[in-house]
Chains A and B, each alone.
Chain A
C-alpha cells in the first residue's frame, strides 16, 4: 500500500508553541512517526547560569505557564539539597497547597481540551468555566494567576492569612461536583467510551522503556509518583491515593487525571487542617559547592532539575528536564497501528506541553512533499468519527 507522510504542525491552531509531528500512514493506519522539536529554543539552561541562585526560580517558572509552581519547586529543592536547608513547616504546607491547586487547574484544562478534540465542545467550555475559580484562588494566594513567584530558596515569599482558608476550601470543593459529572459521563456514554477505550495503548513495558512519567505512566500501570516515591513539601504527612490504571489507553489516562483532581481536593483540605502558624522562610546566606538533584510531580509528570554549584552566586550548570520531554517520544509506541482519526486524541492524551519540549507534526505526500493534512484537518477527522459513531 502507498505510504503517505502526514505532517501535524509546526504551528497548532490550539497550542501556543511550535512542534512538528510526522505521521507515516498507509491507508487510514499510522505505521510510523517522527517528532521534530526546538522551533523555539529559549536557552533557559544557559540563561540560568547567568542569574544568581535567588533569581533562577523566576526564570524557571517561565519554562511553562502551566507548571509554574512545579519547576521552581524542583529547582529550589535541588539547591536546598546542596545547602542542606531546613524549610519551616508552614512554608512546606503553603507550597503543597499551591502545587495541588496547580494540578487541579492543569488537569481541568486538559479535560476541556480532550472534550474539544473529540467534538464535545460543551465539555470544553463548561470545564474551563469551573476551572476559573481555581485560578482566582491562586491569584488570591500568590498575587498572580500564572507566574506565581511564590516559592523561594528556604521557604515561600508570601504568607496566607487564615481568613483565606474558607475561600480556598470553597473553591476546591466547587470542582468536585463537575469532575464527578465528567467521570460519570465518560463511564456511561457509549460513544465517549468507544472513542477512548482501547485507543492509543501504551503498554506497561513500553512506558518503562520510554521512561515516561506522570499520568502517562500511571495510566499504563506504572506506580510512579514523586509525591509518594521521594516525598517533598508536606506530602509525607498527608493521606492520599496514588491513582493508577492499568490498561494504558486514552480512557485510563483520562480517568487518572479525573481522580487525581479529587485527590488534590483532599490534599488541600488536609493541608488547611494541619497547617500551623509559624515562620515561612529559613534564612539562607550562601550556597556551598556541590551537586543537587531536585524533582517534583508536576501535573504532567516528573519535572527533574540538576544544579551544580561552585560556591559562587550563580549555578555553574542547571539542567531542566520537563515531563513532556520523556512523554512525547512514547508516541512512537502508542500511535503506531492506530487510525488517523484517533491520532489527535492520542497526541493530546499525554497532555503534550510544547514549552516542555518545544517541537511540530505535518502530513505530506512522501513522494511529492505536498502537505496533505493539517492539525485542524485531524481534529475535524476526529470529530467526524464521533458523529459517525452516533454522538452529537
Chain B
C-alpha cells in the first residue's frame, strides 16, 4: 500500500494540494480543481476502480469526492476537488471512465455541479417536470 501511495504522490506531483493517511488502508487527498480529470485518469491507469463520487455543499462551493479502490493493495483513496461558487463546474471524468456516467448526472441533478465534456448530461434522478436550476440537496432548499 505504501508503494502505491508513493507512486500516486509522484504522478499527481504539483496537482496534489494535501494528503492525509489516517490508517493503513485509507487516504484522503485534495487536488487542484482544474486538473481533476488528469488526476483521476492517473489513478485509474494505476489500476484503481472508481467506486463512486460524493458531492458535498461547503462554504466555498460544492466539494466533489472521488472514491477510488485499489482492490489488490487494500487501499481506498478519496480525491477531493472544489467546484467553487457561483457556478460550480468541474471537468467530467466520465469521458475516460464510463462507470462515472451516472454519478456525474446524479450530482448535476441534486447539487447543480456542471461536468464539462460529459457526453450525456440528461436528468437521472429528477423527474422531467422538475424546475430548472432547483437543486434539492443544496442547503436552503425548501420542498
Which positions in A face B, CB cutoff 8 Å? 37-38, 41, 45-46, 81, 208-212, 223-224, 229-231, 290-293, 295, 302, 304, 306, 308, 316-317, 319, 321, 325-326, 329, 332
Contact = CB atoms under 8 A, between A and B. Distances in A.
A326 B99 contact: yes
Interface string B2-28: 000000000000000000001101101
B56 interface: yes
A319 B23 contact: no
Contact of B67 (A293, A308, A329, A332): A293
A304 B71 contact: no
17 contacts: A38-B127, A81-B26, A211-B97, A211-B100, A212-B99, A230-B76, A291-B28, A292-B26, A293-B26, A293-B67, A295-B51, A295-B69, A306-B65, A306-B78, A316-B56, A319-B52, A325-B103
A337 to B, nearest CB: 17
**Chain A interface helix/strand/loop/mixed:** mixed
A125 B102 CA distance: 36
Contact of A304 (B67, B72, B124, B126): B67
Contacts of B137: 45-46
Contacts of B33: none
Contacts of B54: 306, 317, 319
Interface in B107-143: 124-127, 136-137
A209 B96 CA distance: 9
Nearest to A35: B102
Contact of B125 (A38, A211, A316): A38
Nearest to B77: A293
Contacts of A290: 22
Contacts of B74: 229-231
Interface of B: 22-23, 25-26, 28, 49-52, 54, 56, 65, 67, 69, 71-72, 74, 76, 78, 97-103, 124-127, 136-137
A211 B101 contact: no
A223 B71 CA distance: 8
A230 B124 contact: no
Contacts of A325: 52, 102-103
Contacts of A212: 99
Contacts of A308: 56
Which 4 pairs, one residue from A and one from B, show the smallest C-beta to C-beta distance? A211-B99, A321-B52, A38-B125, A319-B54
Contacts of A81: 22-23, 26
B71 A229 contact: yes
A224 B74 CA distance: 11
Given A38-B124, A223-B71, A306-B67, A295 B76 contact: yes
Contacts of B125: 37-38, 41
Contact of B25 (A211, A230, A332): A230
Contacts of B65: 291, 306
A222 B45 CA distance: 16
Contacts of A291: 28, 65, 78
A319 B107 CA distance: 11
B99 A329 contact: yes
A244 to B, nearest CB: 12
Contacts of B25: 230
B118 to A, nearest CB: 14
A319 B52 CA distance: 9
Contacts of A316: 56
B102 A293 contact: no
A224 B102 contact: no
Given A41-B125, A304-B52, A325-B102, 5 more contacts: A208-B49, A211-B98, A224-B49, A292-B26, A317-B54
Contacts of A302: 51, 69
A319 B106 CA distance: 12
B76 A293 contact: yes
A293 B76 CA distance: 8
A212 B51 CA distance: 9
A230 B99 contact: no
Given A38-B126, A319-B54, A329-B99, A211 B49 contact: yes
Given A46-B137, A210-B98, A211-B97, A229 B23 contact: no
Contacts of A329: 98-99, 101-102
A291 B25 CA distance: 13
A58 to B, nearest CB: 22
A223 B49 CA distance: 12
Given A209-B98, A306-B67, A316-B56, A321 B28 contact: no
Contacts of B71: 223-224, 229-230
B78 A293 contact: yes
A325 B53 CA distance: 12
